[in-house]
Amino acid sequence: MAEVTSLVSDLLSRSVDEIKTKCGLTKLRESMSAEEAEALDKALDLIKGDNNSGRAKVYSSEWLTAVLNKHGHTISSSTISRHLSKRCSCE
Q: Which of 28, 42, 35, 10 is nearest to 75 (CA)?
A: 28
pLDDT per position as a tens digit, 10-64 = 788 876 666 678 999 999 999 999 999 999 999 999 999 999 998 899 999 999 9
Residue length of the chain: 91
CA atoms within 13 A on the CB side of 40: 21
pTM for the model = 0.77
Longest dimension (CA), the chain: 59
Asked if the model's pLDDT at residue 89 lies above 70, the reply is yes
